[in-house]
A = this chain, B = another copy of it.
Amino acid sequence: MASNLTRVEHRVDRNKRYERNGHSGAVVWLTGLSGAGKSTLAAGLEGRLFDAGYAAYLLDGDNLRHGLNSDLGFSANARRENIRRAGEVAALLADAGLVCIAAFISPFAQDRANARVAAGNRPFFEIHVCAPLAICELRDPKGLYRRARRGEIPEFTGIDSPYEAPSAPDLRIHTDSLPIEACVDHLLDFVVQRLADAVR
């Protein structure tokens, strides 16, 4: 019986997943300040893509921080490792054929570049979800800016830690100048078009 174990079958070919789903696996990476609207846009995009027949999955702090990244704190190194793992998991989800929508502040350009590298030759779209800091702080959906201003959250992006805005994102969405539904429409149109253009 030993010999028959050498006949290892191949993994499911990516072309077969493409045929099944009607699109390539891909990573849609949303970066921006806390309060810029990443989560809202990401959830809207996931729902709209899914309803349009795409295989789509939203990856964000909610499903990483309590599981895979539960061992990580909030030091500078831990935050970078958080983003590194997010990029690697997004790549696996894309490899599995899904359009992975990854929503993370991801303030450092190098970390985002690494996430693109992890995706290999899969489509990777860097989306800058953009709003002025003053607007984000006014929205403050999780009360984090208030806590950061009180000194309760050290090295908070935009307050006492830098946000390196993408210099050449694949798309920039200004959530302060368009209603959120229009922002989702715009993002959906972009992703659908770029996936249609993507090679398998």
A residues touching B (Cβ–Cβ < 8 Å)? Answer: 1-2, 4-12, 16, 20, 35, 37, 39-40, 43-44, 46-47, 50, 55-59, 63, 67-68, 71, 81, 85, 88-89, 91-93, 95-98, 118, 135, 138-139, 141, 175-181
CA distance A35 to B5 in the complex (A): 8
**Cβ of B96 and Cβ of A57 under 8 Å apart?**
yes
Shortest CB distance A44–B (Å): 5
CA distance A68 to B139 in the complex (A): 34
Given known contacts A1-B176, A93-B92, A135-B1, A9 and B85 CB-to-CB distance under 8 angstroms: no
Shortest CB distance A9–B (Å): 4
CA distance A43 to B59 in the complex (A): 26
**Cβ of B68 and Cβ of A89 under 8 Å apart?**
yes
**Cβ of B6 and Cβ of A141 under 8 Å apart?**
yes
CA distance A46 to B10 in the complex (A): 9
CA distance A96 to B20 in the complex (A): 16
Selected from B50, B59, B67, B96, the residue in CB contact (under 8 A) with A16 is B50
Given known contacts A1-B175, A89-B92, A12 and B67 CB-to-CB distance under 8 angstroms: no
CA distance A138 to B6 in the complex (A): 12
**Cβ of B177 and Cβ of A43 under 8 Å apart?**
no
Q: List 14 A-B contacts (CB under 8 A).
A: A1-B179, A2-B138, A5-B180, A7-B40, A8-B43, A9-B44, A12-B57, A20-B50, A63-B92, A67-B91, A68-B88, A71-B81, A92-B93, A93-B93
